[in-house]
Chains A and B, each alone.
Chain A
């Protein structure tokens, strides 16, 4: 067990995951050792020729079968309930969490901060600040895994998945790709560097790109002609996108969705998927014209126009709008 205890608990969720883990280890050890003791002691006691008392043997007993059916059932319901609480926490990023975008490709992690800072195979985060990662892949499935934080989330092509954590220890922690992704899967990784907030601010300043993500997105918004239809003075009848991010949208098919990252991405690449109520499906697809990083910048721009909008939706809510 030395292996796990040598692994630092470096996120706010880690102690709770570990408590659950150690409880399960204890439960398993009790039963496994119990089975072992029963087998070894019966093997010795009831070996052929031993004088042990063998009267009162039974071939079956409903009471006994029910006992070892119902006791595990009760235990499992207890563990299930406990897990629910930990799990609920893992799926609900705090409202003040700060978004960082992650784009995975064979075999590299690219991260982009809202201020335009870009990193490869590294992610710098401030201590104590909830960080919410919005992730996608350019090719195959990858999985973002930081053992010290006890978090893992698959990163899929064609959609966004999310993950959040609050780092609670300073230092550099290994980042792995956990989902087998081909030739150099073993070497796809990096480090998550947790810095004191003041150091982090200095790091941000020292690594600032030419422009922030939102500014780059605004430029793309104009360059690709989005503003021609969706802008304030557009003559085409298209939904106004100012302040859209995080709001509920009524669709032509009667359903509603939250305008989150995934919704915006789908609307750009597959515009016929979510047609807004009251609008004709006129928009062409921009699939192939925008890279994953461009999409992320566009989303950051739309987000910046909605600063006043309410809290970001819970991660769980992301998955509730179905694709089919």
Chain B
């Protein structure tokens, strides 16, 4: 395998004359995709720990029945803010950060297509979250209506209500700008010869995700604006007394909300499809099937939304339609899982941290996916809807699914970004602790849901005590083990062992043809056909 540095014509030149701004200007005025990517990832990391701390408080209160630590209002704020922070503050910015870092490197572009827009889309976020987090200090406290913001309950909110809505508007604007940038970059800045069906699957998954974002974030903005006008300007979109309909909000919200679920998971599918071939030393099985599967999932994600509302009392035809489409969406998802399994078949496997996270992703995501199919069966769903079974289901998809996907991606590309290999033993500790505790945390929640424990409650009937204790212990273990992650990254940056272009010998893709770390401006000259051929992912 060739480790020699590729002849990118002016590598040496750019490394000492890269016009890199210094000091605070480098970050505030940043237009470089790598710097902006780093800021996104750091922001996401901070939000991950903040949202995680709220989750620890939730598990603390739920350790025993009765109210021990918090009043119910504060608890309800905790669940609402945990969700908003994790979804809009941790996961979505982490994906945009990874997109910023990787997409230009992977398609052979010098930068993102719209660098100033890129700066703007990032710098909206800190202000959005300052606004959201400051609600903890306003009269009435942080929003407590649930992240789904159902009226009429949400309309009972205090001063936090308009602040939350404006914060969501800002987050939405940031996401839309980021998504536009991704689409323009992928469609216009690919190196000559990098045809669509040669692109790495992470790029494919992000391209499709970006279209989903542009399609649904405005719908969310519309829904929350209607809430705002219902509250302050006398409209009655969702007020039954004025001829409105609270159920209409749910339809609009979930028309955003279900594609949103796939916005959170599709890039993870892409990352896993990069990592498994690298460590199996074998191309992905069924590359084109993987692309078509992502596209099918994206299409179907627009016509399954009302499975979040099976108990609301829809017409019979509606219930049946959404049951059927929801089952159908499991099919392309299953195709992906089976293709990942087929990729490791007859490979030559090693188990570095990214691979461990990727394999755990495949298995644990499958559990989350299947509990999703169980929820799709309407007559049985009446039993699980709004119980801890649902909480277990979506946390399996989002934690050992999305979060493991993000971590796998960071473990995979961290040597590329820093130029240093990290402490792999520590990474394996992080993996095993996370993988064990995440199951202790979320698996018992299936049992709680099946026994009838409703979600979003600070206090519960005594028959639910045992599994709640187990779940809380898993939660504390999972939370504490995450502290290894920033330590490992810090240690990697400070004391890591320098590494060559190709951090992983089995890795393919244009990013591995660049030095580690890549120069401030990379691919100023497009890669040659020979480089493209060597980097081909399938």
Assess whether A47 is in contact with B374, with CB atoms less than 8 Å apart. Answer: no
- Once A59-B285, A176-B452 are accepted as A-B contacts, the answer to whether A184 and B370 lie under 8 Å apart by CB is no
Contact string, B438-464, partner A, CB cutoff 8 A, digits 1/0?
000000000110111011111111010
Contact indicator B348/A21 (Cβ below 8 Å): no
CB-based contact B316/A91 at 8 Å: yes
Contacts of A1 in B (CB 8 A): 447, 450
How distant is the Cα of A319 from the Cα of B456 in the complex, in angstroms?
29
Question: Is B487's CB within 8 Å of the partner chain A?
Answer: no
Nearest-neighbor residue (CB-CB) of A285 within chain B: B241
Complex CA gap A145/B382 in Å reads: 9
CA distance A179 to B145 in the complex (A): 11
Q: Name the CB-closest residue of B to A90.
A: B379
The answer on a CB contact under 8 Å between B451 and A4 is: yes
A:182-240 near B, CB below 8 Å: 182-187
Please give me the residue from chain B that is nearest to A322 by CB atom: B315
Question: Quick check: B331 and A76 within 8 Å, CB to CB?
Answer: yes
B288 within 8 A of A: yes
Name the B residues within 8 Å of A151 (CB-CB).
Answer: 382
Out of A72, A91, A152, name the residue touching B331 (CB < 8 Å): A72
Interface presence of A308 (CB below 8 A): no
Give the complex CA separation of A319 and B460 in angstroms: 34
Among B285, B311, B348, B373, the one with the most A-chain Cβ atoms within 10 Å of its Cβ is B311
Contact between chains at B315 and A319 (CB < 8 Å): yes
Which A residues from 29 to 68 make CB contacts under 8 A with B?
31-32, 35-36, 38-39, 42-43, 46-49, 52-54, 56-61, 64-65, 68
**What is the interface of chain B mostly: helix, strand, loop, or mixed?**
helix
Partner of A186, one of B315, B323, B380, B459: B459
Contact with B along A142-180 (1 / 0, CB 8 A): 010101101111101111011000000000001011111
Are the CB atoms of B450 and A154 closer together than 8 Å? no
User: Is there contact, CB below 8 Å, between B366 and A35?
Assistant: yes
Please name all residues of chain A whose beta carbon is closer than 8 Å to the beta carbon of B448 when the two chains form the complex. Answer: 3
Partner of A24, one of B241, B282, B380, B467: B380
Of B24-32, B180-188, B337-345, B419-427, the one touching chain A: B337-345
Interface residues of B (CB under 8 A from A): 72-73, 76, 144-146, 150-153, 156, 240-241, 243, 245-247, 280-289, 311-316, 319-320, 323-324, 327-328, 330-332, 334-335, 337-339, 341-342, 344-351, 359, 362-363, 366-367, 370-371, 373-374, 377-380, 382-383, 385-387, 447-448, 450-452, 454-461, 463, 467, 538
23 A-B pairs with CB atoms under 8 Å apart are A24-B374, A24-B377, A42-B347, A43-B351, A46-B345, A47-B348, A54-B346, A59-B283, A61-B286, A76-B330, A79-B327, A80-B324, A87-B320, A90-B382, A91-B316, A141-B152, A141-B153, A156-B312, A174-B452, A180-B455, A185-B456, A185-B457, A320-B315
